[in-house]
Amino acid sequence: MASLITMDDLTNEEIIEVLDNAERLLPVARGETYLPLLEGKILGNLFFEPSTRTRMSFETAMKRLGGEVVNLGDVKTSSVVKGETLFDMIQMVDGYTDIIAMRHPRQGAAQYASDSARVPILNGGDGAGHHPTQTMLDLFTIRQAHGTLEGLNVALVGDLRFGRTVHSLSHALVRFGCTLTFVSPESLSMPDEIISDLKRHGADITETADLSSVIPSADVIYMTRIQKERFPDEDEYARVAGIFKLCAADLSPAKGGMIVMHPLPRVSEISPDVDNTKHARYFEQAFNGVVARMSLLCRLLNVEVPAIISSNGGEN
């Protein structure tokens, strides 16, 4: 496997293998044991957009496995401001590193980088396109909570038009037979081409603007932020800002095992009083970015994860 640009780069069997390896790597991600599987390897973090969780979890994942990280840093202090092209930068960083994690505001940039590079590329988000490493940590979180990915009822809520996390996740969930409910205002609905593609793959999809109606039947409620930075028109953003807000009281009709997820950062779409409920999983979800990306780094660097990892150090 050369790169991970979209979820189409992984079969269902490969997804399960990555999740199984992530499960084994949990003691390493938690710092309970040290397993330098990637010692001598260097990750290049190229983030052309602001990022906290994705960038830091990639860096943590690499360092927990004994590798090193070099960062692009602030784009404003890089050669991008001098007019350096993405192609030239990838050619340069390719010579410094063994693998590259990249986030870019332009949809398709990750595929372009992969076509330009000799080392593997991990897509950390390309505009409103794809975010497959986020999808892998989301799938890991769902499987931890429910013990399976098969046949769940999942509600995706908020910015489904520009939200690359929900674009990638919806494709993956359909492959495991999940029923999807898209909850959004009409102006932020899931793009028609994505819905058509999902239906071609047998998806069972419902669209609604009523969040309360989906809570009783959902196994997962996946909230998203209305992304102000994606709107070309500030007035359009103002019309939908704050349209959904999930509070603890709203969850009274929910199933006992239902989980609330969010790729973070949140603004006002999840009230802080949800944090202390049994349903909240978004901070655990953020931690799972480390273990999922550890597994992906090993896979793309062709490093085998031991079948058994001792919690007191090393492998058995």
CATH of residue 24's domain is: 3.40.50.1370
- Is 155 within a domain? yes
Alpha carbon distance 73, 82 (integer Å): 15
Buried b (16+ CB within 10 A) or exposed e, 235-259: eebeebeebbebebebbeebeeebb
- Is 180 within a domain? yes
Q: Please tell me the pTM assigned to this model.
A: 0.90
What's the DSSP call for residue 81?
G
Supply the pLDDT for residue 149.
97
Q: Measured on CA atoms in the order 231, 233, 234, 235, is the torsion positive or negative?
A: negative
- Is 90 within a domain? yes
Q: Do residues 43 and 140 share a domain? A: no
Q: List 156's β-bridge partners, or say none.
A: 182, 222
242 pLDDT more than 70: no
Sort strands 179-183 and 121-126 into parallel, antiparallel or unpaired.
Answer: unpaired
User: Which segment, 39-53, 220-234, 280-294, is predicted with the most confidence on average?
Assistant: 280-294
Summarised one tens digit per residue, pLDDT across range 44-53 is 999 887 778 8
Average pLDDT over residues 137-143: 98
Q: Do residues 181 and 225 share a domain? A: yes
Q: Which residues contact 184 (CB under 8 A, 6 or more apart)?
A: 157, 158, 159, 160, 161, 190, 207, 209
Q: Which two tokens stand for residue 5?
A: 């640009």
**Structural domain range at position 29:** 7-130+289-300
Alpha carbon distance 48, 80 (integer Å): 9
How many domains are there within the chain?
2
Location of structure tokens 């938690």: 30
Alpha carbon distance 185, 111 (integer Å): 31
Q: Do residues 124 and 143 share a domain? A: no
Summarised one tens digit per residue, pLDDT across range 59-93 is 999 999 999 999 876 555 455 555 667 887 888 78
Q: Do residues 46 and 185 share a domain? A: no
Q: Sheet harboring 220-223: ordered strands across?
A: 204-208, 179-183, 153-157, 220-223, 259-261
- Is 306 within a domain? no
- Is 305 within a domain? no
Q: Do residues 63 and 136 share a domain? A: no
* 94 φ/ψ angles, rounded to the nearest 5 degrees: -55, -35
Q: Mean pLDDT score of the chain, rounded to an integer?
A: 89
**By three-state DSSP, how is residue 185 classified?**
coil
Location of structure tokens 């780069």: 9
Q: List 273's β-bridge partners, or say none.
A: none
Q: Do residues 91 and 163 share a domain? A: no
Q: Do residues 159 and 197 share a domain? A: yes
Higher-pLDDT residue of 40, 92? 40
Secondary structure (DSSP) of 105-165: SSTTHHHHHHHH-SS-EEEEEETTS--HHHHHHHHHHHHHHHS--TT-EEEEES-TTT-HH
| Nearest Cα to Cα of residue 224 among 243, 208, 239, 205 | 243
Helix ranges (H only) for 148-248 are 164-175, 192-200, 234-240
Report the catalytic residues.
53-54, 82, 103, 131
- Is 100 within a domain? yes
pLDDT bucket at 291, cuts 50 / 70 / 90: very high
- Is 316 within a domain? no
Q: Do residues 252 and 294 share a domain? A: no
311 pLDDT more than 80: no
